[in-house]
Structure 1
Amino acid sequence: MATTEGEYVNFNAPGAGKPCKTWYKIVGHLESSSASPPLITLHGGPGAGHEYLAPLADLYHSRQIPVIFYDQIGCGRSTHLREKMGDRSFWTFDLFLKELDNLIDHLKLRDRGFYLLGQSWGGMLCGLYASRRPAGLRKAIIASGPASVPLYVQGCQGLLAELPPDVRETLEDCERRGDYESETYEKAASVFYGRHVCRIDPYPDELLAGFAHLKEDNTSYLTIQGPSEFIVTGSMKNWEGWHDAHNISAETLLLNGRYDEVTDLCMTPWFKHIPKVKWITLENSSHMAHFEERERYMQICGGFLTSDKGAATKSGIY
């Protein structure tokens, strides 16, 4: 498997006040004229880094689709900006879409085309980016990325209500006191994560790397999301990405897990408003279906990306 060791591209981040760089790596070959369009991956968080999406490299092995991973600004090997904590005018959706555009142009992918897969927060970016009809975008996959943050929070509240009473009471007590960092809170929150974020025990090493990134630098996460997965107080609190979904012209695949923190409630608006869309729910997965049902996940994604049949009509399991 041909893999770059990692490269950097300069990124002129508006308002950063210093030079910035985006780190990326490519699994496969971009040089061959006969190669498939590459798949660009958008990780979640924000701030979780690229490692936890590592299983997507399977698509190169099985389908010869080159896969491009990168760390979004503010995390991993890309430029960190801890001095921007709480700066909502800096940490915007447009910032991350400009970074994506910058990477695409650097790799000269407009003419040959590219695919896009965004997971979680990355799925939100993917949907918004696709709605702008960027040159070169062939197909898009929104994996466990909510179309509406208010509906995401509503769905999480339903999941929290199903937790054991003692766990729920602990979380509610910690929330009232603003305690999101104690061992007590983390232990209670881990019950939610074990049910609705990743059901594999122990967690895969790549996923642990993502959690480590968030712990090392939570600047973008706290500013955009908030103190936890199910308490959203950041700038995306009222985000309704589905409002622009009717503008998405690329064929789009929606994925989520039956036990996902990104519930059907907040995925449905994508399905209702994207013109060419297919929705598949993986029955034995939560938020990390690419680990939990890895083989089926890759079959679904690979089949969608390489099929020329299209998604002319809406279809789905939902």
Structure 2
Amino acid sequence: MSMRVTFLGTGGAVPTTERAPSAFLVEREGERLLFDCGEGTQRQMMRFGTGFAVAHVFVTHLHGDHVLGIPGLIQTLDFNDREAPIAIHGPPGSKGHLKDLVEAGGYRPSFPVNVHEVRPGGVALDGDGYEVRTFATEHRNASSMGYALVEDDRRGRFDREKAEELGVPVGPKFGRLHNGEAVELDDGTVIEPEQVVGDPRPGRRFVYTGDSRPVDAAVEAAAEPDLLIHDATFGAEWAERARQTGHSTAREAAEIANRAGATRLALTHISSRYAGDAGPIEREAKEAFDGETAFVPDDGRTFEIPYPDAEK
């Protein structure tokens, strides 16, 4: 079961020829979830082949580089004869503004567009086998929040060798045991699931901060995320500018990742100051990060999020 992230826009407030404004798409079990929707997101989706079958859009805050792609995306979906509804989730105070974006220029989509406000510390989506949680972030002049996608625990591993030793015949009873159901053998012996099934295994989880200063809530949103996508607009030399504008440096992002126990750190919202070379951002984070890898994704990069217990 795959979970793949496509980075559609990794730039800061001012787009460059290499980096579009903020947007990335998560595909899980065929379901597509879009996080932020900066200007030109629909074109990035076409360019990088993600498809348009998006069920939910999660907006971190209302600054233009995170939402100005919504009118174009909605109208393109309409032009492609979309009938299925789409849900847009945003922070407190965003509902009216998001509706205005959907209906920009007096446009009225012919398919349902449902806009929801969600408070930080809540659940934006209770999905099939996962949930998208919200957490408070800190960004200048904005009601903002981040999102954490957390999968349910998976069943423990089935010990076939042990089952056979206990006399369970190969066949349907294996599946019943793995599903948590006791089975009775021909001699009347009852085999309980815990005799042949290991402890539950964690699902995958990732955290996205959107634009934010380093905040404790990002650490608490999901323990030990497999991927943390964090604001890293500036390098340490612009630390004061980061504080003034409500952003983070690459080092600060790495420190949050360490505190959260993140395995991997993706650095996004890269300032146009680094249009020619984002290497300093990546190097700064790598020097401070204790996890497996820290990287600055280019637009169009895809990343498969593995299970925590996947063999390496």
Q: Whose strand proportion is higher, 1 or 2? A: 2
Q: Give the shorter-chain TM-score range.
A: 0.3 to 0.5
Q: Which has the higher contact order (CA 8 A, sep 6+)?
A: 1
Report the TM-score when normalising by structure 1: 0.33
Normalising by structure 2, what TM-score? 0.33
The structure with more helix, counted as a fraction of residues: 1
Bigger CA radius of gyration? 2
